[in-house]
Structure 1
């Protein structure tokens, strides 16, 4: 989430002023035109040779430091993926250096034990996980906290993307495929020079090196973009998606909005503007629209005729229910409270009505 009060952040004033109102009441306003992509598309019959990618939203532990509960259906879905990709929204430290900010929720932090136990609870194997560090909170616990985060993820055997040292496009294996990940953030909560030295802010595809498609089967962008708590992305965000698609990106899975946003097809590129949060929030009493999350599952072809092409995709929606100091991840269709289930279903219909 945005730390709009930080003196060296790069948020415009209008954004800072709107943060709390939009957190309390996520907006359905904005341009709804052109989002014609459905929440799922399947090939019938489907190809037999595919690799499965699963994209999850922001992962943090600010107000919920106990390991989550997870519905078996969600755990099974995540376990079925060859590669799971998410955003590591909280630095991984044993003792936060920004003590007051961490208690208030303006600074993020989670322990290595919390992350390891949470991944086990939700069915994600560490060796199948790739986490982006390209987000505004990654330096919330200072440079030392960033170094501790990198070391912790290495100990856990979790691959990372989005660091300045890795370059604008970083290669990761997914089954028999090589995926090129362009992970970057447009937002920062720290000094610009200090931040850019460690985290990719390479959001302009025109500045990427030539030949980025030479050794990859699929080029995927993982941007930390747009404005928070708005279900429909801003025109500037959609314009950037078009530029990314024009550069050869065929799959975009965005973060930072903290609410679910629609899908769009741009030529043969699939854009998921915002997946919502996967785990964690700054405040334990977060309003219900911000507790809707999604998992984007994409099956990618590995056969010689169409290697790297998207065969099928589906958004799986769930709720992060607050339960006695921890979160409970439940598929929307399995919600027991009828009023909540109806409100969530109506909200999703408004977002994906295109």
Structure 2
């Protein structure tokens, strides 16, 4: 079955109910935004969003105009497809209780339209623990649905360890993988990448920027485990200059390792755990990265910024608003949590 260690399983429910700020905070000197010098004259914009699921939404979510404007400005949007896309759930009871994920094709299409994300500019990682929640047939149905929608994918064995996608004038190589699975090893590993920092040299030839999209770490913890940070260093040593992580379902900090930028956890983009989650798990981020397209600095990261938002429950669906638009006690709690995670940002 799953490959989660016992200590993780025992801690899952307490951390779900109360996301943790415990852990090693040392070394996270990178702020939530940075403009690097010198700035190029030509740039390509990547926007990374967190986990995407329909668990907390019966209908398509609403998006503040500031969020749709931000997402529509990107040359490429990259997210984690946390739910199989199926017409009918095969794991009926698990889907009803939320342990198994499922998402309708029309829901995804409507959500993307509401978010201002053009389908031909979207890349979804399928390297996550929930991708076989509706069985092998559900996985095949997911691939067919994404093909109909014109959405590109990464993280499958069939696509290879590093999958190339154009972003403006640049070629980005995406190494997407998951450390976790919810099912037996054989059917999962035949379809989904679970290998980290493993690819032949010719897999990255002609690529302007190597970007890792890992499904890693433990859920509902704001600070990554030492093993996760060690893996980030291995990826940086292999030439990965950008890492955008998933799976924690809460925000995690940014770290600079040489020329590499690591955003350990972006939180959820559309809620994936419960329809009503504790407020720290309702803070998400959009990780916007500008990459140089100038000949002399082609593929170098020119700037990055985490744009924070909150997911508010509204009549059976979510409404995403920038944290600056919050008010009252919730705004104060969110500001304090962000300052604890990103002390260099002064936010």
Question: TM-score with structure 1 length normalisation?
Answer: 0.96
Q: Distance in 2 between matches of 1:302 and 1:65?
A: 41
1:122 aligns to 2:92 (yes or no): no
1:69 aligns to 2:62 (yes or no): yes
Q: Distance in 2 between matches of 1:325 and 1:27?
A: 27
Match of 1:5 in 2: none
1:212 aligns to 2:203 (yes or no): yes
Unaligned runs of 5+ in 2: none
Q: What whole-Å deviation, never above 9, does each CA across 1:9-61 have from its counterpart, x for those lacking one?
A: 00001100100000000000000000011111124774220000000000001
Q: What whole-Å deviation, never above 9, does each CA across 1:100-134 have from its counterpart, x for those lacking one?
A: 00000000000000000000001100000000000
Match of 1:3 in 2: none
Q: Distance in 1 between matches of 2:185 and 2:31?
A: 38
1:309 aligns to 2:321 (yes or no): no
1:163 aligns to 2:156 (yes or no): yes
Q: Distance in 1 between matches of 2:111 and 2:281?
A: 20
Q: Distance in 1 between matches of 2:274 and 2:232?
A: 31
Q: Distance in 1 between matches of 2:43 and 2:216?
A: 29
1:202 aligns to 2:180 (yes or no): no
The alpha-carbon deviation at position 233 of structure 1 amounts to 0.0
Confirm or deny: 8 A CA contact 2:161 2:203 kept in the other structure: no
The alpha-carbon deviation at position 270 of structure 1 amounts to 0.2
Q: Distance in 1 between matches of 2:36 and 2:263?
A: 19
DSSP-derived class of the 2:224 partner: coil
The alpha-carbon deviation at position 284 of structure 1 amounts to 1.3
The alpha-carbon deviation at position 222 of structure 1 amounts to 0.1
Q: Distance in 2 between matches of 1:193 and 1:138?
A: 14
1:249 aligns to 2:228 (yes or no): no
The alpha-carbon deviation at position 191 of structure 1 amounts to 1.1
Which of 72, 75, 84 aligns to 2:77? It is 84
Q: Distance in 2 between matches of 1:46 and 1:217?
A: 17
User: How many residues matched?
Assistant: 344
Q: Which runs of 4+ in 1 moved over 6 A?
A: none
The alpha-carbon deviation at position 281 of structure 1 amounts to 2.6
Q: Distance in 2 between matches of 1:301 and 1:82?
A: 13
The alpha-carbon deviation at position 62 of structure 1 amounts to 1.3
Match of 2:218 in 1: 227
DSSP-derived class of the 2:334 partner: helix
The alpha-carbon deviation at position 235 of structure 1 amounts to 0.0
Q: Distance in 1 between matches of 2:162 and 2:287?
A: 21
Q: Distance in 1 between matches of 2:116 and 2:58?
A: 18
DSSP-derived class of the 1:285 partner: coil
Unaligned runs of 5+ in 1: 1-7
Question: TM-score with structure 2 length normalisation?
Answer: 0.98
Q: What whole-Å deviation, never above 9, does each CA across 1:216-261 have from its counterpart, x for those lacking one?
A: 0000000000000000000000000000000000000000000000
Q: How does 1:106-117 map to 2 (within 5 A)?
A: 106-117=99-110
The alpha-carbon deviation at position 285 of structure 1 amounts to 1.4
Confirm or deny: 8 A CA contact 2:161 2:175 kept in the other structure: yes
The alpha-carbon deviation at position 213 of structure 1 amounts to 3.0
Instruction: Report the RMSD for the aligned CA atoms in angstroms.
Output: 0.9
Deviates more, 1:38-47 or 1:214-223: 38-47
The alpha-carbon deviation at position 156 of structure 1 amounts to 0.2
Match of 1:4 in 2: none
Match of 1:152 in 2: 145
